[in-house]
Structure 1
Amino acid sequence: MLAIVASLVIGGVWTNTGEAETARKGVSVDFKHGRLKVAENKRFLAHQDETPFFYLGDTAWELFHRLNREEAERYLEKRRAQGFTVIQAVVLAELDGLDTPNAYGDKPLLDNNPIKPNEAYFQHVDFIVNTAEAKGIFMGMLPTWGDKVVKAWGKGPVVFTEENARIYGKFLGSRYKDKPNIIWILGGDRLADQVEGIWRAMAKGIAEGDGGNHRMTYHPQGGQTSAKWFHEDSWLDFNMLQSGHSHFDLPNYEKVAADYRRTPIKPCMDGEPRYEDHPVNWKPENGWFNDFDVRQAAYWALFAGAHGHTYGCHDIWQMMAPGRQPISSARNNWYDVLDLPGAWDMLHVRNLIESRPFLTRVPDPAIITAGQREGAGRLQATRGDDYLFVYTPYGHSFTVQMGKISGAKVKAWWFDPREGTAALIGTFTNDGAKKFDPPGEPKRGNDWVLVMDDAEKGFFEPGK
């Protein structure tokens, strides 16, 4: 496989991290396993043949609107190499998406009318969807950004009613009915208060158009979850929350755990956590989120019960480039930050999760009997029937209750979430309690995952 050197651009200065990464070989997802469905236990997504599906998303909100075809190919190929399985992008984009044309001079709607789509614009959308399909990538497709339904802030304009939302939804559903790589994401960073009917009409139209072929969710405003408005709606296949970008160490695991406890049971995830290279609380003087922050958000959410996770980079969601007004102090061009270390770290997340059977995985805080911490150093634990994971953000020591998984003996490993490598600790009897002390001195960014397996199962090295 191809070795890539991870690089980053901070403050306009190119810096080589010196860290070689290995690109994923082949398609990201094999669509031969069939369309997506909610798994039998209602906690995860799976293909029709029961093959588990791990939702690893990236936010490329302005992909359809701002990139030309060569740029879209470049972006999608990089994300394929990094193991992303879903790209979240918006058809009627946030940044003046109705009145500023795409790279080919085409606007999405004629007369800003949702029932009059512009065929030329949608041919460009088709190209990107088809390119993603060839690479084994799902498009997490937002029919519109939320400001076209309820302005609140941003450019708008509001153009949707219940009537035209259903017609527009049916148009989209019909157009992409036979595509294997679509996940519909309604919403777009907005509350649904008092406009629930518009979103429900759009969902109904999509279902009428695609015959229920694709899964559907809702992307809410920061600090909220789709469950607030739509948890009991049959069209909502899984819940999505946005933990957002307001401060370091935001405990997104709390919101994931709250959605996990809801009934009826539905899969849940954080669809917009803190972005890499984003100013904390939108203010550069507060500092910037980096690779550790995105790893922390990912492991906290997944080990709290999320079925998948979305990464984001502040410069990439808006496709920042020369001549464009930076949003919220964006400081780098999108094409210069494709190799930020946090993006490659998401490949390590995927490799770890997929290296063990995950459709039966559950959160289990009781695994930790001593050493739990609150705040930035919060430990998060999860297990399957025959393995367990414990994430320690700062590398603090902790004690594990043995006997939580099957097997008379267990094999323990340290998984390095920065490098994607594992080191064997040893084999132990599976009873009593045992203390584990991660490598290095405890500090921010010295994060590790303890992996413990039933020794008789013969699992490969974690992440392999």
Structure 2
Amino acid sequence: MPRSAASIEKSKALEIRVHPEGRHLVSGQMDEPFFWLADTAWELFHRLDEAEAKLYLDKRAAQGFNVVFVVVFAEHGGCTLPSRAGHWPFLPLDPSSETYQPNVFRPNPAYFDFIDWVVDYAATVGIRIALQPVWGNYVAGVYHRIEHWFDDAEAAYSFGHFCANRSELKPLLRYPYLPWLNGGDVVRHWFDDAAFNARVGLPVKEPHIAVKDYDPIFEAFAEGITAGEAAYRGDGSKPFIAFHPAARWLPDTPKAISSHMFPKSKWLTIDGIQSGHAVRNTFIQPKDETYGKLNTFTAQNSVDVVREMYETSGKDGSLRPVIDLEPHYESTHYSFKPEEPFWKASNIRQGAWQAMFAGAAGLTYGVNSVWQMNNLASTSHPPINHHTASEFNWFDELDLPGARMVSLVRTWFLARPTFFSRTPDQSFILSDTFDRDTPEDDVEGKDAKLIAGTRCRQGKWLAVYSPEGAPFELDLSVLPGHKATANWFNPRNGVTTPAEPVDLNSGAVSVTPPSTGSYEHDWVYYLETTSVHI
């Protein structure tokens, strides 16, 4: 169905933009502060019907989420299972064949009818659907080792343009002002299937290419999206495009940080990472003389990478907001291994608060069953045949405690009196912050205990996050004035309680949280000046 003018205006009102100072996001006509709170629902278009999608979107909107990630060409079963309505994302190359092979230059309008409905309905409840045109396995193969249907810049440009403009339906433009995701759990440089198969003893397809730079493909997606939106923007503004990377990368290639992989790409709106799901390096890593050991991020140390992005992003002078686009997911086994423990709400909470205190512009949340829309009783779309398969139904895990707790982070930060002047700062914490930078301390979870600081550049307030309730000492000289109110915020339940009053003239203060000992005793300490002389 064509979108109405009113529907397009609703989407325009939800457009996300970068604040002029480059570190924060805004939305709305008055450039109101925008705290990115995203959920991952990659398989929504592929596995849900309208009633189920409405249930999911209503729940996430009520919980405070304002962005949802969905992929058009699904990662799992994109070429073996049609959508719930029985449609494939592309018309078949050979309609007479019993095996579906997509003609990637001919998107299927019937498949997009449901996408249209989801985008429209999400807008009515305040959610922006962040569209990922294709999963990265169709570009580089990566961990799936399947056909590279989009290993072609012309196809990437064509489909990016179609998604952004729906050119076959002019002048009824479809998806204006939505955020876009390039990539899809992939990196710019990767070995091809032949290289992988040669190492593990599987058949090798020719030609053999050791490592390929897929930059032309990702640039083409971005160029197609930009050109598609240009038809209705008209004011020279550019679309919001992030790059969703993997958590691993090859030796002697750029880190899996968006700005490291695409340092000259003007389309990159924000800097992003996937800090991933591994508490330690438990994946099988290919070793040989050519590749050595794959590099990987460690989930509990996600704050390290957020800090690195914040410190290095925008070396060309144009600062970018930074976001962890895929941190460890709640109710998900470490490294997706059934013998490993589950990531708990306390892990999600610790990573979220530390990321925000390190300068992130928002958070991304995820649950293993939810991103894959797992339905254990489904006969049409059974659980995925993959090591990441979930043990639970998606609709039974919408109310996990982590979803409520990340929403509390959003509420707390939006309530600060000077949202845009927030800056990460460890220097005013005089005691040990448990931040280990030396190689001998580079162990799993090394910075999960980090006591993190952030403050207002104008000297109005400061805050400290203590993930295990450890005590700390503060230099009060960063807050000009005489008096300050102090309180404790409990990130587990959202309750604020008064703390001991602070005399700013004392120079320093020792602070002991109300409880201590583990991640179940984390606290946020907040000081706000009541008399300021600047």
TM-score by structure 1 length?
0.88
Q: Which residue of 1 aligns with 2:498?
A: 424
- Residue 114 of structure 1 aligns to a residue whose secondary structure is strand
Q: Tell me, yes or no, if structure 1 residue 217 matches structure 2 residue 197.
A: no
Q: 1:230 to 1:434 in 2, by over 3 A?
A: same
Q: Which residue of 2 aligns with 1:441?
A: 516
Cα distance between partner residues in 2 of 1:134 and 1:173: 20
How much does 1:34 deviate?
6.2
Q: Tell me, yes or no, if structure 1 residue 365 matches structure 2 residue 384.
A: no
Q: 1:133 to 1:387 in 2, by over 3 A?
A: same
Q: 1:50 to 1:109 in 2, by over 3 A?
A: same
How much does 1:49 deviate?
2.5
Matched residue type, 2:334: V
Cα distance between partner residues in 1 of 2:311 and 2:54: 40
Q: 1:202 to 1:251 in 2, by over 3 A?
A: same
- Residue 171 of structure 1 aligns to a residue whose secondary structure is helix
Cα distance between partner residues in 2 of 1:54 and 1:177: 27
- Residue 289 of structure 1 aligns to a residue whose secondary structure is coil
Cα distance between partner residues in 1 of 2:341 and 2:61: 30
How do residues 225-236 of structure 1 correspond to structure 2 at under 5 angstroms?
Answer: 225-236=257-268
Q: Which residue of 2 aligns with 1:453?
A: 528
Matched residue type, 1:405: L
How much does 1:400 deviate?
1.4
How much does 1:423 deviate?
0.6
- Residue 268 of structure 2 aligns to a residue whose secondary structure is coil
**Percent of aligned positions with the same letter in both sequences?**
35
Residue 195 of structure 1 is aligned with which of 208, 214, 217?
214
Contact 2:164–2:176, Cα closer than 8 Å, also in 1: no
Q: 1:448 to 1:394 in 2, by over 3 A?
A: same
How much does 1:178 deviate?
6.3
Query: Highest Rg: 1 or 2?
Result: 2
Matched residue type, 2:424: P
Cα distance between partner residues in 1 of 2:451 and 2:221: 40
Question: Please, what is the CA RMSD of the aligned residues?
Answer: 1.9
How much does 1:195 deviate?
0.7
Q: Which residue of 1 aligns with 2:225?
A: 206
Cα distance between partner residues in 1 of 2:156 and 2:421: 38
Matched residue type, 1:174: N
Q: Tell me, yes or no, if structure 1 residue 281 matches structure 2 residue 335.
A: yes
Deviations 1:211-265 (A, max 9, x none): 2553111000114211222133110011110000100762111111111122132
Q: Which residue of 2 aligns with 1:162?
A: 153
Cα distance between partner residues in 1 of 2:348 and 2:126: 24
- Residue 306 of structure 2 aligns to a residue whose secondary structure is helix
Matched residue type, 1:361: R
How do residues 122-141 of structure 1 correspond to structure 2 at under 5 angstroms?
Answer: 122-141=112-131
How do residues 36-185 of structure 1 correspond to structure 2 at under 5 angstroms?
Answer: 36-47=16-27, 49-111=30-92, 112-154=102-144, 156-160=146-150, 161-175=152-166, 179=175, 182-185=178-181
- Residue 233 of structure 1 aligns to a residue whose secondary structure is coil
Contact 1:267–1:307, Cα closer than 8 Å, also in 2: yes
Contact 1:59–1:317, Cα closer than 8 Å, also in 2: yes
Contact 1:162–1:197, Cα closer than 8 Å, also in 2: yes
Contact 1:284–1:329, Cα closer than 8 Å, also in 2: no
Q: Which residue of 2 aligns with 1:252?
A: 302
Q: Which residue of 1 aligns with 2:407?
A: 347
* More displaced stretch, 368-377 vs 166-175: 368-377
How much does 1:180 deviate?
5.7
Q: 1:409 to 1:232 in 2, by over 3 A?
A: farther
Cα distance between partner residues in 2 of 1:178 and 1:127: 11
Deviations 1:27-58 (A, max 9, x none): xxx97866322111111111253211111111
Cα distance between partner residues in 2 of 1:277 and 1:257: 26
Q: 1:371 to 1:31 in 2, by over 3 A?
A: farther
Contact 1:140–1:184, Cα closer than 8 Å, also in 2: yes
Q: Which residue of 2 aligns with 1:20?
A: none
Residue 325 of structure 1 is aligned with which of 371, 379, 383?
383
Matched residue type, 1:52: P
Contact 2:490–2:522, Cα closer than 8 Å, also in 1: yes
- Residue 315 of structure 1 aligns to a residue whose secondary structure is helix
- Residue 286 of structure 1 aligns to a residue whose secondary structure is coil
Q: Which runs of 4+ in 1 moved over 6 A?
A: none
Q: 1:329 to 1:126 in 2, by over 3 A?
A: closer
Contact 2:185–2:244, Cα closer than 8 Å, also in 1: yes
How much does 1:266 deviate?
1.2
Q: Which residue of 2 aligns with 1:27?
A: none
Q: Tell me, yes or no, if structure 1 residue 261 matches structure 2 residue 321.
A: no
Contact 2:424–2:455, Cα closer than 8 Å, also in 1: yes
Cα distance between partner residues in 1 of 2:126 and 2:63: 12
Q: Tell me, yes or no, if structure 1 residue 292 matches structure 2 residue 355.
A: no
- Residue 113 of structure 1 aligns to a residue whose secondary structure is strand
Contact 2:176–2:229, Cα closer than 8 Å, also in 1: no
Deviations 1:117-158 (A, max 9, x none): 111110101111111100011111111100111112226431
Q: 1:151 to 1:435 in 2, by over 3 A?
A: same
Aligned length: 428
Contact 2:434–2:451, Cα closer than 8 Å, also in 1: yes
Cα distance between partner residues in 1 of 2:180 and 2:128: 10
TM-score by structure 2 length?
0.77
Matched residue type, 2:154: E
How much does 1:329 deviate?
4.9
